[in-house]
Chains A and B, each alone.
Chain A
């Protein structure tokens, strides 16, 4: 594990990357990706304002936590710079949202799980990873 500066850098980069990725996620929600399959979230009606508020808060908090783990495992993630962040984004996408969507499929929530997997691939796998990889600079 790197020092205190690394932690500070990872929290800042993670916060920004988490916010940007949650905005992308919100665009998918406003754009009606979920409505292609269902008008409710996992069978529960929820208004768009509440959904957006939840998306931003949860996105930023998750972004910080994932950012700290990024700094922790920085040396063990293949590649360099933005590409390193992109690889990490894909790993996080598999560990967290895909795991979540898989459990949703198990319980028959296909109409939620499929758009969730698609939206999180772009927002977390791609955007979060790229922004984190671009912003996070390990201390020398």
Chain B
């Protein structure tokens, strides 16, 4: 499949990559829940339940697909400015998105945790940091793959 318009290509590549990133993240919450780490699934329940997992998956795929398509459109606009070539470009973009949209927010929550000492902000720090690394970095790799493949 070839998509000649870069914005359209960024949209579809981002949509698919966002859904893949969301799926990877949700799958990572299973061992996380079993290990008792303070991730998003662990915030909702103490033991793993299939129904909760499916409802998170039901939210995660469309929501991350939506965010992925927005970031994909911006990627297509900034494409020439992103360092690297081919798939590596996508990986760098994923790291930038993870940093701006998640790790920076994790840092904000860590500051609030330092100021208030509330457990919620510690959990949010962990969750935002984790989603940045587990969801948006793989998103970037898949965005790079799809974007280059559909050129």
Partners in one complex: yes
Question: A-B contact count, CB below 8 Å?
Answer: 61
In the complex, what's the smallest C-beta–C-beta distance from B136 to chain A, in angstroms? Answer: 10
Q: What bracket does the count of chain A residues touching chain B fall in?
A: 20 to 34
In the complex, what's the smallest C-beta–C-beta distance from A1 to chain B, in angstroms? Answer: 8
Residue from B100, B105, B120 within 8 A of A92 (CB atoms): B100
Q: What bracket does the count of chain B residues touching chain A fall in?
A: 20 to 34
Chain A residues, Cβ within 8 Å of B115: 46, 50, 53-54
A138 on the B face (CB < 8 A) = no
SS class, residues of chain A in contact with chain B: helix
Q: A46-B115, A99-B102 are in contact. List 4 more A-B contacts (CB 8 A).
A: A42-B120, A66-B100, A99-B101, A102-B63
Chain A residues, Cβ within 8 Å of B112: 46, 54
Residue from A1, A57, A73 within 8 A of B111 (CB atoms): A57
Kindly report which residue of chain A lies nearest to residue B66, judged by CB atoms.
A102
Residue from A44, A46, A66, A96 within 8 A of B105 (CB atoms): A96
In the complex, what's the smallest C-beta–C-beta distance from B120 to chain A, in angstroms? Answer: 6
